[in-house]
Structure 1
Amino acid sequence: MSYQQIERMTPVAAPARVGQGTAVEQSRAVAEVQAAVLVARQFPRDEAVAIAKMRTACAQQELAQRAFFRFPRGTSNVSGETIQLAKELARCWGNIQFGVAELRRDEEYGESEMQAWAWDMESNERSSTTFIVPHARWANGRAQKLADFRDVYENNANNGARRLREMIFTVLPVWYIEQAKSACTKTLANGTGDVPRSQRIADCVAAFDGIGITADQIETKLGRPSAKWTDIDLGQLQVIYQSIQRGEVTADEEFPAPRVTVDEITNAAPGDSAGWPTTAQPGSGAEQ
């Protein structure tokens, strides 16, 4: 083990003197936590009310459209629930505190130590995780160091949001989360409710056409013509569209260009060769 590695593992000594402002803030934080726990015990959540709030929230298109994400990983896409859905479920469930904190930033080694946590103050169930975020972004097959302070902040915020989502879901009941996911999926499938499916299909095609994706590409992806698209298909397309808009996945990754097969090249018309010019053969009379 090198001297630098040992130095990094050595804990930093606490300051010998704590300022008055720091001491006041520490006392205030302790009192705030004690008060929050006391209120949570005095006014426990009503699960029926919490479920009703969740269903009302998940019935809104604005939340349902931001409830799921998609991004590429290797040869497949990863999908799941967003931090926006997690925060809304925590709000509806009640008596939950959560947050993300940057504990230390090391410019020399290019990394930040961060912590994400969620705490159900009523059941006293707490989940937290401490993690290291390198000041780098993976691009073009390699890690590129971030030099701009804004890029570092956004990189830390994105990594922190993903950990925070998992911490919130850890303290929420599984059945509660699954009901919310089903409600959001149903909302996406039903659309606004008063708009006929044919109009929703037309609006969907127009929206994708605005980002350079044709109806033929969508039909190829779904494996059926637009006239036979179901409510589930429209919901899936809405998630894909929102993910493209947020930059989680690119249009080319979701709708790759069709590849020319060997059979198509073999069956091409003589002299055409799938659009490539014919090579003149010696003695054929063609210009050399």
Structure 2
Amino acid sequence: MNQIDRVAPRLPAPTRIGQATAVEQSRAVAEVHAAIVVAQQCPRDIQAARAAMQDSCAQKFLAERAFYRYNRAGKNITGPTVHLARELARCFGNVQYGVSEMRRDDEYGQSEMQAWAWDVERNTRSSLNFIVPHARDTSDGATALTSARDIYENNANAGARRLREVIFAILPPWFVEEAKELCNKTLAGGGEGKTLPQVITDVIEGYAGIGVSPDQLEQKLGRSKDEWNGYDVAQLRVIWRSIRRREVTIEEEFPQPRVTVEEITKPQKPAAEGTEKVSEPEEGSEPEPSESDPLHYSEEEISETGGDS
């Protein structure tokens, strides 16, 4: 008995292995060995991989699905999606990836999962083991999931986010950054050979259909529409797709402007001659606020507008 056997107990092993299990074990070993041999005999062509990536990123369908955007704690979070990651892995070649559900524990309401990506040619592997609770976060707190379909979809969503990270971990950074740049250019140009003014007009009309005015778009970007460039249009397209996918809401991206304390206390211009003068209230009394007065605020509302305190 060697030293390891004396210190650590042996793991339990199955006393009986069926024929199907033995065949599957042999097949898995042979498959891994064959993948390594084929990858080394047929190494990737970097120029061909780059050309395939450029061709894919020039397609409008991929560019529109290449980025996500959502709101967390009042901040907009954006980045490349798992759809872009999978396409880049395909273009790069000799890459295997996947998500495995290693164990599901319904008693404790959680699943143990693994996301992995493997560059077979370079023998570079990245993996993440993580626990996925069988629950969904809502505005009223976490809600437990009991339906098999809900648990599956929840696990799939969590696995897709980790899969995106492990794929990007084994791809060259320049390959990913160039793909993101090309997708932004495709979004800016619409992918249909249109000029920038035509694309800007299409974007404005599209937002008008969901109740967002050009003034709100200009306030979002901090410049007038005549000064927009391709990156501004790409940003608006990403926001548009995120709204359509219900990742963010219109109110989160385009909040209505609020009246500030300075605007409320701003002195009014003197009334022109011939107009009726409003009588001043008696000393010690307060005028009754009108419900239709848009500038009327309670003390609590004024304190929230960011006035001096």
Q: Which moved more, 1:14-23 or 1:171-180?
A: 14-23
- Rg bigger for which structure? 2
Question: Which runs of no fewer than 5 residues in structure 2 stay unpaired?
Answer: 1-10, 269-277, 279-288, 298-309
Letter in 2 for 1:253: E
Per mean C-alpha deviation after superposition, the further-off stretch among 120-129 and 251-260 is 251-260
Asked whether the 8 Å contact 2:102–2:113 carries over to 1, the reply is yes
Q: TM-score, normalised by structure 2?
A: 0.80
In the superposition, the TM-score normalised over structure 1's length comes to 0.86
Show the counterpart of 2:294: 274
1:203-282 aligned within 5 A: 203-267=202-266, 273-274=293-294, 276=296
Assess if the C-alpha contact under 8 Å between 1:116 and 1:163 holds in 2: yes
Shift of 1:58: 1.1
Q: Please say if 1:38 is aligned against 2:58.
A: no
> 1:69, 1:243 within 8 Å by CA — same for their partners in 2?
yes
Equivalent residue letter for 1:89: L
Query: Which residue is 1:6 aligned to?
Result: none
Alpha-carbon separation, structure 2, partners of 1:63 and 1:259: 38
CA distance in structure 1 between the partners assigned to 2:257 and 2:15 by the alignment:
67
Q: Deviation at 1:276?
A: 4.9
Per-residue deviation at 1:264?
A: 2.8
Per-residue CA deviation, residues 64-100 of structure 1 (Å, 9 max, x unaligned), is: 1111111112121111111011111111110000000
In structure 1, the gaps of 5 or more residues are 1-11, 278-288
What RMSD in Å do the two structures reach over aligned CA positions? 2.2
Over 3 Å counting, the alpha-carbon distance change for 1:268 and 1:215 in structure 2 is: farther
Q: Which amino acid aligns with 1:97?
A: Q
Preserved contact between residue 188 and residue 196 of structure 2 (Cα < 8 Å):
no
Does the CA-based 8 Å contact 1:70-1:78 persist in structure 2? yes
Q: In the aligned structure 1, how far is the partner of 2:144 from the partner of 2:252? A: 25
2:211 is the counterpart of 1:191: no
Assess if the C-alpha contact under 8 Å between 2:189 and 2:199 holds in 1: no
Cα distance in 1 for partners of 2:13, 2:157 equals 30
Give the share of equivalent positions with the same residue, in percent.
56
| Counterpart residue type for residue 154 of structure 2 | N
When residues 13 and 261 of structure 1 are mapped into structure 2, their CA distance, relative to the original with a 3 A threshold, is farther
8 A Cα contact 1:265 1:274, kept in partner: no
User: Are residues 1:168 and 2:188 paired?
Assistant: no
Matches for 1:65-76 after TM superposition, within 5 Å = 65-76=64-75
What residue number does 1:47 align with? 46
Q: Is residue 2:99 matched to residue 1:100?
A: yes
Letter of the structure 2 residue corresponding to residue 191 of structure 1:
G
3-state SS of paired residue (1:118): strand
Q: How far apart are the structure 2 equivalents of 1:157 and 1:122?
A: 28
Equivalent residue for 2:15?
A: 16
